[in-house]
Structure formats: structure tokens, C-alpha cells
Amino acid sequence: MTKINGFSAAPAGTGAAGLEYSLPMAGGASTEITQRHAESPTAAVGAPFRVLALDGGGIRGFFTARLLEGLIEHAGGDPRQTDFGAAFKLIVGTSIGALLAAAIAAGIPLGRLASLFREQGVAIFPRPAPFGWRNLAWCAWHWRRPSADARALRGVLDSLFGTTTLGQLFATRGVALCVPATDLRGARGHVLATPHRAARTASSELALVDACMASCAAPMLLPPLRLPAAGIEGAYWCDGGLWATSPVLVALAEALAIAPPECPIEILSVGTCAMPVPAAVIARPPGRGIGLWIRGLRAVQVTGDAQAEGAVDLARRLVPELRRNVRLIRLREPDPTDEDAAEVRLDNCSPRAFAAMERLALAAVALNGLDTGDPTSDRACVAACLRAAVEAKPLKTH
């Protein structure tokens, strides 16, 4: 049993604070990931136990990446070099949030992630669900096949993580990572995690790529998959968003389990900008039956957005009842217009959709501006978190 970053961890590799590792990557390439938390401001005595929780939402994860990138720039950092993961002890992400969470935990800069969404989005989602009568043809074509390209997504994940496992990530970085997924066969939620405590060792040999693929396998978009190293025999894994689109409750429970009793807990929860159903759609007479829900994957999107909002609201109500010093901060989001909602969907990677998400992300940066006049405010808390990341050792760029 070894201790890394204050955690007692099952052996999952070798390493000590401040050492650099070369982790195995696809095709024989390698990447250097530095264990940073021994020198990070978050490791200081009395510092809060910071947690990052990232929602799912398909390609809307671009909004999340651009929002965080914009906040880093606002704090004086360079998104291409700032080690955002250095500010956190625990990172939790669902679906596309799992991809972002794993990348941030691994020390991959947010600037690279936002670019990947733009460059690879169309390859991953080549046939977005349409509106109107064309949706019937789309449903027929995809009756027995998913609409997104799992091979393209796996290629992106391979380029980010190679063959790195959850255990290797924790041994190298000292960042606890939790990824909600769903066992389709057992119809129950499960958390794939780094071995940062004794109860989280079952998936230590699972590749980060496979953990992200499991959490991202949204209904109709991507196929479920089997993961022999995930610790549950016979499980068939699919989207964690079926039960934890916002993983804030997972983050809260895990933080309570691993944070030192005397340490205050701060949870930063980030969404993907929930989209309304346009008023014209609700008012349209034939739009209240099955057609309302199958067009544009509306059933999946509305379910996820409503469930995320419910989870955050429940966590807010729960926090004051805890016998711990816990603070939950949900980054504010702008109100999208009906025009935005017509473009920004789970699988739409059109230039207009990216332009709308870019505009909404910039508006969200302004809403969450780092005014620190009140040192006890949520904005001051976010500012302190960003400073911890900006002041950490810069990432190497290749």
C-alpha cells in the first residue's frame, strides 16, 4: 500500500512525487505525464479538497471546454500550457464529461481539447439526427446501427491516452478519477475509478480509453461494449448519463469518503448548457406524440438536461445538512434562445452549432467572472481554484 497525494492507494504502478513518467501510448509513441500534486498549491496544509464534476452532453462538451478555457485566460493563464488538473484532488465526469475529466486528470491542456472537438466532431458524429420527416428515414437507416462512429471516437481517445490505465494515471498524477457508466445487462449504475481507495481497485487495470468509451456509449449514438477489466463479469457497458448526466452526487459522495475529516471540500460543477425545447415545437399540433421525442434525439437530450438539473438541485439541498464543511459551486450558464436550441444538439457538429456554443461559452465566462471583492463569494472560490492551476508548473507542449 502506497500513499500518493494524501490517498492510500493499492499498487498500480511505480512512482514518487516530482518524478516524470513515460506512459505507453498507441502505436509505440509515448507521452510524458508529470506527477504534480506534491508541488501544487492544493497540497498545502489547510487548503481545500477541490473536486471537479463535469456533465455529459454529447458534442456540447465543446461548451464546457471553451468555458473552462476562457476562465483560465481570464485568470491570466495560457490554456495551451496551464495544468488545470493540478488544482483538483478528485475529478468526476460522465459521457463527454468523462473524456474531459480523464484528459484534465492526465494533464492534457484544455486548449487542445477544444480544438479536438472542432477538428474531430464531424468524424465522430457524421450523421446527426435531423428534424422534420427526414427523421423517419434516419431512424430506419439506424434501426440496427448506431449513428455515431465509435472507431473515430476511439481514435481520438487513443491519441490522448494510448494504453494508459486508470491505475497508471493515479500512480503518475495522484489525481483521483471517477467515471459513471451503466451496466446494461444488470440495469444498474456503476463507477469506473482509479484505485485511490480500497473500495475502488476493481477497475485499476482498465484502460482510460475503454472507461471513456463505456461512459460515452449513449443510446442510439454509440454501441454498448464489454470491458473484461472493469470488475463485473458479463456486464455490457453503456452511457453513464442514463443515471448520472451530472455526476455531482457521485463527486459529493466520493469526496466525503476520501477527503481528510478536517479538510474543507469545494466542488466545482460544470454543465454543457442545457437547451430548451423551442416554443414553436411545443405549439405545433402534430408535435406532441412520438414525433416530438424522436426528432433530433430530443428524448435523450431533455432527459439528460432535466436529470442534471435535478441532481445539482438535490446536491444543493443536501450540502447544508452534512456535518462537514462542504461548498458546491455550479458555474452559471446563459439562457439559450430557441435559435440556439435548433442548432446545439447532442450530435450536431455544424459550423453554426459550434458558433452558437462558442458564443454561449463566452457569455458564460462573463457570468462567472472572477470578481473577488467578496472573499467568501462563489466567484472568489472559483478564482482561487483557477489561480492554483495557473500557478502550478506549466505543462510541456510538443
Phi, psi of 319 (to 5 degrees): -55, -45
Instruction: Give CA–CA dist 390/76, Å, rounded.
Output: 7
Report how far residue 85's alpha carbon sits from residue 106's, in angstroms, rounded to the nearest whole number: 7
How many angstroms separate the CA atoms of 42 and 48, rounded? 7
- pLDDT for residue 374: 79
Q: Look at residues 221, 243, 218 and name the one whose alpha carbon lies nearest to residue 95.
A: 218
Could you tell me which residues come within 8 angstroms of residue 323 by beta carbon, excluding any fewer than 6 positions away?
Answer: none
What pLDDT, on the 0 to 100 scale, is given for residue 227? 82
**Pairwise CA distance, residues 202 & 302, whole Å:** 33
Which pLDDT value is given to residue 13? 38
Cα separation, 239 vs 358, in Å, equals: 25
Grid cell at residue 30: 509515448
pLDDT digit string (tens) for 26-39? 344 344 344 444 33
Q: What is the pLDDT of residue 10?
A: 44
Report pLDDT for 297.
Answer: 66
Are the beta carbons of 97 and 54 closer than 8 angstroms?
A: yes
Joined together, the cell numbers standing for residue 390 give: 495557473
State residue 174's pLDDT score: 94
Burial 45-54 (b: 16+ CB within 10 A, else e): eebbbbbbbb
- CB of 211 closer than 8 Å to CB of 171: no
Tell me how far apart the alpha carbons of residues 236 and 219 are, in angstroms, rounded to a whole number.
13
Residue 193's beta-bridge partner residues? 178
Total residue count of the chain as it appears in this document: 398
pLDDT value for 132: 62
Tens place of pLDDT per residue across the chain (398 aa):
444 455 544 443 333 222 232 333 434 434 434 444 433 333 444 689 999 999 999 999 999 999 999 999 998 999 999 999 999 999 999 999 999 999 999 999 998 999 999 999 999 988 877 666 566 666 666 666 777 788 999 999 999 999 999 999 999 999 999 999 999 888 899 999 999 999 898 899 999 999 999 999 888 788 888 887 666 666 789 999 999 999 999 999 999 999 999 999 999 999 999 998 878 777 765 555 665 566 656 778 888 899 999 999 999 999 999 989 999 999 999 999 999 988 898 889 999 999 999 999 999 999 997 766 777 888 888 988 998 888 887 765 44
Write 192-196 long-range contacts (CB < 8 A, 24+). 192/166, 192/230, 193/166, 193/254, 194/9, 194/12, 194/166, 194/167, 194/169, 194/170, 195/9, 195/10, 195/12, 195/166, 195/167, 195/170, 196/7, 196/9, 196/90, 196/170, 196/258
Q: What is the pLDDT of residues 143-158, one digit of tens each?
A: 667 777 889 999 999 9
Tally Cβ neighbours within 10 Å of residue 61. Answer: 28
